[in-house]
Amino acid sequence: MSTHLSEQEIIRREKLAELTKLGIDAYPAPLYPVSHYSTAVKAGFNEDTKEEYKDVCIAGRIMSVRDMGKACFAVLQDSHGRLQIYVRRDDICPGEDKTLYDVVFKKLLDIGDIIGVKGFVFTTKTGETSLHVKELTVLTKSLKPLPVVKEAEGQTFDAVTDPEFKYRQRYADLIINPQVKDTFVKRTIMINTIREYLNEHGALEVDTPVLQTIPGGATARPFSTHHNALDVPMYMRIANELYLKRLIVGGFDWVYEFSRNFRNEGMDRTHNPEFTILEWYTAYKDYFWMMNVTENLLERIAIALHGTTDVTVGDKNISFKAPFKRISIFEAIKENTGIDVSNLEEDGLRDVCKQLNIRVDGTMGKGKLIDELFSETSEAKCIQPTFIIDYPVEMSPLTKKHRSKAGLVERFELMINGKEVANAYSELNDPIDQRDRFEDQVKLKERGDDEAMFIDYDFLRALEYGMPPTSGIGIGIDRLCMLMTNQPSIQDVLLFPMMRPEKTVE
């Protein structure tokens, strides 16, 4: 980031000074009485409704100007879209003083400046709905020029695609690439749809701590910090699971939270160290019920965003029509490798990994070896929504043992387009079994697995009061948004993704 001013930036500052000399405040304080937005004007105006558009006030950023001497056409961009305006000198300067048009509008305003205009709507000879300006107000002088983007007939031909610019200067990206905003509008619609669905079915939205003394609820490397007043080490949460389960112990039947989680791990097209997870826990339910609810919810989201259950993702068509395919993790591995690993212990699993050229190390226990086998051989082949079910107990320290299959737990992961989108269990509510599982995690940590879980003694104490049979799920909101908006990278669905600090150049 340079503190050196470019020639254009210097010129804009000089124009700001000229505006001030003319007595024009380029950053006025009073409310500006916006009455209409661009898209609503274009959608609503016609010969039958023109009387309703005789007195319109809009505000927005100047995106282009076509100078015709004593009149100009310009395009304003507001939060909804763009609208052409027609500015004529004698209309905004009805008296002898033409400074507002000749000097302010034509010489001191630039592309990117924000103005407010009042006037009436009409249709040009070429059929374009436009605003005939009767009054113009300077609202904000832009001191940094926008990147130049070529457009014609509403289409962008050379949108800025440089990731360094897009993700670091998202504010500018949103201005010059209007389609980017649509992704984030859809993200909000998606989240609101989820809220509506859960609230309709009796769930209660809650908040749980972000700063935790024990980072529990998942196997991941946490960010650590320090609480000065208490003089204790603390961690940014890696999951909110254990707190939500405490609420089930306390008597709530169905709780959910959109949780901002933090994991001190790598970054790639599907991982950001700070991300959003939706988790909910429902008493007296199991993972079969959870599969039904999940597929119905995703079907509803697809319809809310696209009007259909078919969603285009890259060159694929993903159908979110319920029900989804269900297959065990061992069956998936066998289906894709021809090898049945369901009865193998750690040494046998290592041999299979070696046979398949899958790299593993000595810190990996049985659970991680099976996870690696599935990830390397099967995950990418789950294109249509697929519930991978019935995991080995070693992979799932917080999950109830399977009711009929020894050595397995009642868990599923939802895979879509080759990536995990959700993870769910029939929750472990046996405090003795849970303590044993935590202790197994400690042994893995002692072997060097820095993602293994800590023992949360307070959570064990909560379980000892008795947690009813419960089903819980975590859904990756960012990954789900990638699918639902056809974005190839998680950075494209995060307004401000993680980036290296920008170097300052004097």
In the prediction, which pLDDT does 506 show?
57
Residues 212-243 pLDDT 10s? 998 888 878 999 999 999 999 999 999 999 99
Structure token pair of residue 467? 């947690």
In the prediction, which pLDDT does 160 show? Answer: 67
Strand extents, DSSP E, 371-456 = 386-392, 408-416, 419-426
Quote the CA–CA distance of 120 and 131 in Å, as a whole number. 6
- Contact (CB, 8 A) for 243 and 261: no
Tokens representing 3? 């503190």
pLDDT of residue 503: 79
Q: What is the pTM of this model?
A: 0.89
Q: Is 178 helix (H, G, I), strand (E, B) or coil?
A: helix
Q: Is 95 helix (H, G, I), strand (E, B) or coil?
A: coil
Across-strand partners of 133?
A: 119
Considering the chain, what percentage of its residues have pLDDT values greater than 90? 81
User: What residue type is 461 in one-letter code?
Assistant: R
From the CB of residue 274, how many other CB atoms can be counted at a distance below 10 Å?
15
Determine the pLDDT at residue 200. 98
5-16 pLDDT tens trace = 999 999 999 999
Identify the DSSP state of 505: B
Q: What is the pLDDT of residue 219?
A: 78
**Whole-number Cα distances in Å, 120 to 51, 188, 368, 442:** 9, 33, 67, 72
Calpha distance 173→146 (Å, rounded): 9
Give pLDDT tens digits for 239-270. Answer: 999 999 999 999 999 999 999 999 999 889 88
What are residue 129's DSSP bridge partners? 123
- Cβ atoms within 10 Å of 195's Cβ, excluding its own: 15
* Confidence tier at 92 by pLDDT (50, 70, 90): very high
Residue 3 has pLDDT above 90, yes or no: no
Q: Are strands 129-140 and 204-205 parallel, antiparallel or unpaired?
A: unpaired
Nearest to 488 by CA among 161, 148, 151, 159: 161
How distant is the alpha carbon of residue 8 from its chain centre?
35
HSE at residue 406, side-chain half, CA atoms within 13 A, is 1
Amino acid letter, 454: F
Rg (CA), the chain: 29
146-150, 179-183, 338-342, 472-476: range with lowest mean pLDDT = 146-150
Q: What are phi and psi of 493, to 5 degrees?
A: -115, 5
Residues paired with 225 in a beta bridge: 234
CB 134 within 8 Å of CB 82: no
> Which residues are paired to 60 by β-bridges?
115
- Average pLDDT score over residue span 107-117: 98
- Beta strands 254-262 and 204-205: pairing type? parallel
Tokens encoding 43: 């959608």
Check if the beta carbon of residue 404 is closer than 8 Å to that of residue 449: no
User: What is the reported pLDDT for 77?
Assistant: 97
SS3 235: strand
Average pLDDT, the chain: 93
pLDDT at 152: 56
Beta-bridge partner residues of 371? none
Tokens linked to 459: 């959570």
Q: Where are the beta strands (DSSP E) in 284-373?
A: 310-313, 316-319, 325-328
Q: What is the pLDDT of residues 420-466, one digit of tens each?
A: 999 999 999 999 999 998 888 888 878 877 777 788 999 999 999 99
